[in-house]
Structure 1
């Protein structure tokens, strides 16, 4: 077990003080009676003090702590600082965070989110990442318009089915199809045009129809 630091016994008094200096670890301040002190913020003083702030301090002799910030000396960004790890636990109820001008989150090396259900409602969203992996049992997406651009694309599907109202595909370079068997059914007309057309078969070629025109 770690050895605890002894607590100095004696009368403790509270007073207000104005911070006028900071050395990187302690804050210099002047009390209302004109006494000068160099004190550190208490663990429970979440709002980080700054030069010019009016603070509440507890004193036991020449030692003490900054308990809280009572008044800011000037308009500035507030900082809540806690040394070490922090866990916020709500055995019951919900946690709500509201920010008028936005919310910035810097999680360092890792951000882990675990929830039974996640709902996100945004007007615009942008995700930039080096590698993205998504896995699950089922994925559904619905868009009025969608554009996909990629330099290389690879898909591996056990069974694929696609239904289109109208489809047009343009391949600028070479396209090759390899399949065990191919069957195409066209209700009305089928056209095949090219500078050269080669039809190669190892067994037979069959053309059936009421009328066949060649040439």
Structure 2
């Protein structure tokens, strides 16, 4: 191969070349004329070059850059690389991303999403967090089946209303209820069974009914 010519004080020229080596941020390329250069990708070359790629290079004086990747001879993952902060702005229109085999996002220390309305559809979803805080004006949930499991569960509400067609609760340990006042109404039957039943009242205990059976 011939050594690269000196392009000092000459206009910038464009050449086709092929990458045959990599050293740090620079790539070794061989032009179609057989000249060899060590060049780095231009800021606008978003697709990161790889060995074997056919690229478009520009040469001006002693400087040169890889402008773009023209052809990739062997299949390998493509990498888009931009140094520094990036702001992607669409003054009008919408952005659509399609990925046949999946989409992976690694946001580092923070991921922020903002939208007036958000819609997500998943066949199956798994979410794992260390701490989750959700705040809003209203929350509605509709499920065919829901299962909740927790080592410790705490609920606080100013007003709580629950409507069930059927309800069954099992407490294996101790259960304690404290209330300012308690009223229960049973339309049909009410049964209370235990090894020991104690009823205490500081003022009055009243039992009324057409028939009262004790013992």
Q: Which bin holds the TM-score, normalised by the shorter protein? A: over 0.9
The aligned runs of 1:117-136 (5 Å cut-off) are 117-136=117-136
The equivalent of 2:4 in structure 1 is none
The equivalent of 2:107 in structure 1 is 107
In 1: Cα distance, 2:13 partner to 2:27 partner: 18
Alignment root-mean-square deviation, CA: 1.0
In 1: Cα distance, 2:36 partner to 2:166 partner: 82
Please give the secondary structure, in 2, of the residue aligned with 1:30: strand
Please give the secondary structure, in 1, of the residue aligned with 2:175: coil
Native 8 Å contact 1:18 1:53 kept in 2 = yes
Please give the secondary structure, in 2, of the residue aligned with 1:181: coil
Native 8 Å contact 1:56 1:67 kept in 2 = yes
Tell me by how many angstroms 1:62 deviates.
3.3
Native 8 Å contact 1:51 1:73 kept in 2 = no
Native 8 Å contact 2:17 2:56 kept in 1 = yes
The total of aligned residue pairs comes to 208
Tell me by how many angstroms 1:165 deviates.
0.2
Tell me by how many angstroms 1:9 deviates.
6.1
Tell me by how many angstroms 1:25 deviates.
1.3
The aligned runs of 1:76-115 (5 Å cut-off) are 76-115=76-115
1:9–1:154 distance in 2 versus 1, CA, 3 Å: farther
In 2: Cα distance, 1:63 partner to 1:159 partner: 73
Unaligned runs of 5+ residues in structure 2 are 1-7
The equivalent of 1:27 in structure 2 is 27
The equivalent of 1:165 in structure 2 is 165
In 2: Cα distance, 1:146 partner to 1:43 partner: 52
1:104-159 deviations in Å (ceiling 9; x for gaps) = 00000000000000000110001000000111000000000000000000111110
Please give the secondary structure, in 1, of the residue aligned with 2:138: coil
In 2: Cα distance, 1:15 partner to 1:176 partner: 83
Please give the secondary structure, in 1, of the residue aligned with 2:58: strand
1:20-41 deviations in Å (ceiling 9; x for gaps) = 1111111011111111100010
Tell me by how many angstroms 1:73 deviates.
2.8
Instruction: Report the TM-score, using the length of structure 2 for normalisation.
Output: 0.95
Native 8 Å contact 2:9 2:61 kept in 1 = no
Please give the secondary structure, in 2, of the residue aligned with 1:152: coil
Instruction: Report the TM-score, using the length of structure 1 for normalisation.
Output: 0.95
Native 8 Å contact 1:37 1:62 kept in 2 = no
Native 8 Å contact 2:27 2:39 kept in 1 = yes
In 2: Cα distance, 1:203 partner to 1:177 partner: 20
In 2: Cα distance, 1:185 partner to 1:156 partner: 24
Please give the secondary structure, in 2, of the residue aligned with 1:38: strand
Native 8 Å contact 1:18 1:30 kept in 2 = yes
Runs of 4+ deviating beyond 3 Å: none
